Amino acid sequence: MARIGVFVCHCGENIAGTVDCAAVVREALQMPGVVHAVDYKYMCSGPGQAMLKAAVRRHRLTGVVVAACSPRMHEATFRRAAAGADLNPYLCEMANIREQCSWVHDDRDAATRKAADLVRMMAAKVARNQPLQPIRVPVTHAALVIGGGIAGIQAALDIANAGHRVVLVERQPSIGGHMAQLSETFPTLDCSQCILTPRMVDVASHPRITLHVCSEVESVGGFIGNFEVKIRRHATGVDASLCTGCGACVQACPLKGTIAGDFDCGLGRRGAIYVPFAQAVPNRPAIDRANCLRFKAAAKQGVAPADCAACGKCRDACPIEPKAIDFAQADAVVSEKVGAIVVATGFDVYTGARPKPGDPYQGCGEYGYGEYPDVVTGLQFERLLSASGPTQGRVLRPSDGAEARTIAFIACVGSRDNAKGFTYCSKVCCMYTAKHAMLFRHKVPDGRAIVFYMDIRSGGKGFDEFVRRAIEEDDVAYFRGRVSRVFPQGGRLIVKGVDTLSAEPVEVEADMVVLATAMVAGEGTRSAARALGLAADKDGWLSEAHPKLRPVESATAGIFLAGACQGPKDIPEAVAQAGAAASKVLALFSADELEREPVVARVNRSGPPEYSTCSGCLACKAACPFAAIEIEEISNQKTGKVIKRVARVNESLCLGCGTCVSVCRSNSIELCGFTDEQVFAQINAT
């Protein structure tokens, strides 16, 4: 006979404010099998857990129901407590009377009745629960890091330095990410390249890091400790094992200096074979097939690029034998086995340009980005400020190359603007706008810098002092108010706005307008979310397992998040999160085996094997999304003759989704911990 204990949590006021917990306890004592029931203010606290353990021992409980929050929050906590009192943890269940009851109801009587019903259902299930033993699986001590920005670089170095192999995948021809595009960094004004490029070199020269650039993760299979990853290495037209990075091909390209490149945000010009920037890692060029004369001619003639006679000047210029330029190079798919994955796919920058069909955001047409060349984004302005940028650090207008004398900076372009599709703050713009205005004033001492802002968010070490310095020492004019319109007039830009502190309209004639545009979850982050099946919020930022207590873990075990793929972040935050993700990976790699939840499907095999009710139709095999169903042949033990073919679940692959259970025609598969008997008892309890 079951002996069940019920523990009702108040969760402070969260539950007790709506549910009469004492009434739930009284009701629970009447339920079949319940021999003990108690309520307490914080059941998850130390005293609460001690209370649970003591009750298990004193009342010789065979099952526990904790009526509290969501099992996602504290199931593990209470199962550990039960195990501490020598009760099999799978005999402890949670009834969610917070998220699914007190938080969503106002009527105290009805909520109390519902809470009691939820407890009754769980008590009926627990009475039928069976003890389960965790499954032990081996852990592959290698990690995949997706994204080679500062977060990915930091995570890769931390894991590799601890002695484990790392596979780093980057979509672009070089690692470095957006940080490599920045000029100076707030609030210290140290040079972004100077602090980043040594780390890039560390990655390339690390014996335990395998770097794949121009590559994307195509698919991910398996589970924590045992992921199988397929990586597509896009053909670059350059054999990286032969190339020495001399740059002769880049110089020979007839299109040199004609194509607007991504790295300079369209402001600089490169050739069809190019290295994105001088400090690129690896220092290997790649061919831009959409623009290369030879690839274009080959496509037109319908021949292979290797057989085409057009151009080929880069190959002629290559001083190596055999030539490193290989027009016949094809994409390669590489398979890797890893135990953990760090996603560090970063962000993109919103521009405010006219939206393309399917874009989730509205444009900011009133600022004229994309219409007037002297309206640029903050990232473009970084390139203009950068000593290695298209203007060697001089603030020259894109339209005519004249030095800008007056610049208007507009904060919160997109960010915090529900009408444009954004509800969030991009967090870094207040700071980089102050930095931009300051650097411009340093470069053009008699120039005017004007900032239009909503309010200044400068929370962070040394941040507010930095903004004050821009205002007080560098004479940057700050207007609290929005800009309604930017339009060209007489070769300059008229910026119409308002100063809400003096309630006066403001009109500024500027040479350039810099938009502090929002950070958005980039295509890299969206495609990683698709390949890995990760959850994202409405804006596309990847969801962490718990917003406060598990900020670097995804909801999928073994997959961790680092950097701005999870939400807008500045450099130190991205680095800190990457370090935290790396430490989670290292904790996982600290053992050779890990324990998995035994919630897996099992094919009914009680009695002599030939009596299994499985008919071997294998409908389950076709339905399984994780390829966890195998075929087992049952042989006569004496003659060895095959009697029957039945399905068998590979427990290390099964994720316990239950799809096979629902398609099985002979009812021969059950999900451990969620058997038909248990679930129906739960449903029928009320």
Partner 1 sequence: MGMELLELDDWSCCGASAAHCTNRKLAVCLSLRNMALAEEQGFDTLMAPCPLCSGQLAAAAEALAGDPGLKAQAEAAVGSPRGQGVRAVNYLQYIREHCFDAVRDMVRRPLAGLKVACYYGCLLTRPPRLVKFDDADQPTSMEEIVRVLGAEPADFPHRTECCGSGFTQSNSKAVVRLCRPIIESAKAAGAHAICVACPMCQMNLDMRQRDVEREAGTKLDLPVVYLSQLIGLALGIDRKELGLTRHFVSTVRVKGA
Q: Which residues bind partner 1 (CB under 8 A)?
A: 354, 362-366, 368, 371, 419, 485, 487-489
Is the separation of the CB atoms in 542 and 344 below 8 Å? no
**Tokens at 580, concatenated:** 């935290």
What is the rounded distance in angstroms from the CA atom of residue 158 to the CA atom of residue 221? 25
Q: Compute the least distance from the CB of residue 96 to partner 1, in Å.
A: 32
Q: Compute the least distance from the CB of residue 294 to partner 1, in Å.
A: 37
Report which residue type is found at 209.
I
**From start to end of 302-416, where are the E strands?**
332-338, 340-343, 347-349, 375-377, 406-413
Nearer to partner 1, 354 or 468 (CB): 354
Nearer to partner 1, 492 or 644 (CB): 492
Please classify residue 432 by burial: count the beta carbons closer than 10 Å to its beta carbon, then call 0-12 exposed, 13-18 middle and 19+ buried: buried
Backbone phi, psi, residue 590, to 5°: -75, -10
Q: Compute the least distance from the CB of residue 419 to partner 1, in Å.
A: 8
Nearer to partner 1, 101 or 493 (CB): 493
Nearer to partner 1, 1 or 419 (CB): 419
Q: Compute the least distance from the CB of residue 422 to partner 1, in Å.
A: 15
Nearer to partner 1, 58 or 485 (CB): 485
Q: Compute the least distance from the CB of residue 322 to partner 1, in Å.
A: 52
3-state secondary structure of 526: helix
Nearer to partner 1, 228 or 366 (CB): 366
Q: Compute the least distance from the CB of residue 373 to partner 1, in Å.
A: 14
Angle formed by the axes of helices 192-205 and 150-161, nearest 10°: 40
Q: Which phi-psi region, left, alpha or beta, contains residue 66 (left: φ > 0; alpha: ψ -120 to 50)?
A: beta
Q: CB-hemisphere CA count at 13 Å for 176?
A: 24
**Tokens at 577, concatenated:** 């999160």
What is the rounded distance in angstroms from the CA atom of residue 566 to the CA atom of residue 171? 18
Q: Compute the least distance from the CB of residue 370 to partner 1, in Å.
A: 8
Q: Compute the least distance from the CB of residue 237 to partner 1, in Å.
A: 38
Sole residue written with tokens 């004492």? 22
**Tokens at 131, concatenated:** 């003890």
Nearer to partner 1, 368 or 447 (CB): 368
Closest Cα partner for 458 from 425, 506, 493, 503?
Answer: 425
Nearer to partner 1, 368 or 481 (CB): 368
Q: Compute the least distance from the CB of residue 482 to partner 1, in Å.
A: 14
Q: Compute the least distance from the CB of residue 488 to partner 1, in Å.
A: 6
What is the rounded distance in angstroms from the CA atom of residue 170 to the CA atom of residue 151? 12
Nearer to partner 1, 44 or 364 (CB): 364
What is the rounded distance in angstroms from the CA atom of residue 648 to the CA atom of residue 616? 10
Q: Compute how many other C-beta atoms are within 10 angstroms of the C-beta atom of residue 19.
A: 31
What is the rounded distance in angstroms from the CA atom of residue 540 to the CA atom of residue 428? 18
Nearer to partner 1, 109 or 509 (CB): 509
Q: Compute how many other C-beta atoms are within 10 angstroms of the C-beta atom of residue 431.
A: 24
What is the rounded distance in angstroms from the CA atom of residue 216 to the CA atom of residue 147? 9
Strands laid side by side in the 92-96 sheet: 34-40, 4-9, 63-68, 92-96
Nearer to partner 1, 334 or 494 (CB): 494
Nearer to partner 1, 300 or 354 (CB): 354
Nearer to partner 1, 356 or 461 (CB): 356
What is the rounded distance in angstroms from the CA atom of residue 291 to the CA atom of residue 222? 39
Q: Compute the least distance from the CB of residue 354 to partner 1, in Å.
A: 6
Backbone phi, psi, residue 51, to 5°: -60, -40
Closest Cα partner for 514 from 368, 329, 309, 643?
Answer: 368
Q: Compute the least distance from the CB of residue 333 to partner 1, in Å.
A: 42
Nearer to partner 1, 219 or 484 (CB): 484
Q: Compute the least distance from the CB of residue 355 to partner 1, in Å.
A: 8
Q: Compute the least distance from the CB of residue 416 to partner 1, in Å.
A: 18
CA-to-CA separations, 156 to 139, 160, 195, 547, 575, in angstroms, rounded: 18, 6, 17, 24, 11
**From start to end of 547-671, where are the E strands?**
559-561, 593-596, 601-603, 629-635, 642-649, 669-671
3-state secondary structure of 512: strand
Q: Compute the least distance from the CB of residue 413 to partner 1, in Å.
A: 13
Nearer to partner 1, 483 or 685 (CB): 483
CA-to-CA separations, 403 to 14, 111, 166, 452, 497, in angstroms, rounded: 60, 68, 46, 22, 24
What is the rounded distance in angstroms from the CA atom of residue 614 to the CA atom of residue 580? 47
- Say which DSSP state 481 is in: S
Report which residue type is found at 341.
I
Nearer to partner 1, 243 or 495 (CB): 495
Sole residue written with tokens 């009109």? 507
Nearer to partner 1, 487 or 680 (CB): 487
Asked if residue 89 has a cis previous peptide bond (ω within 30° of 0), the answer is no
- Say which DSSP state 372 is in: S
Closest Cα partner for 166 from 203, 139, 214?
Answer: 203
Q: Compute the least distance from the CB of residue 361 to partner 1, in Å.
A: 12
Q: Compute the least distance from the CB of residue 418 to partner 1, in Å.
A: 10
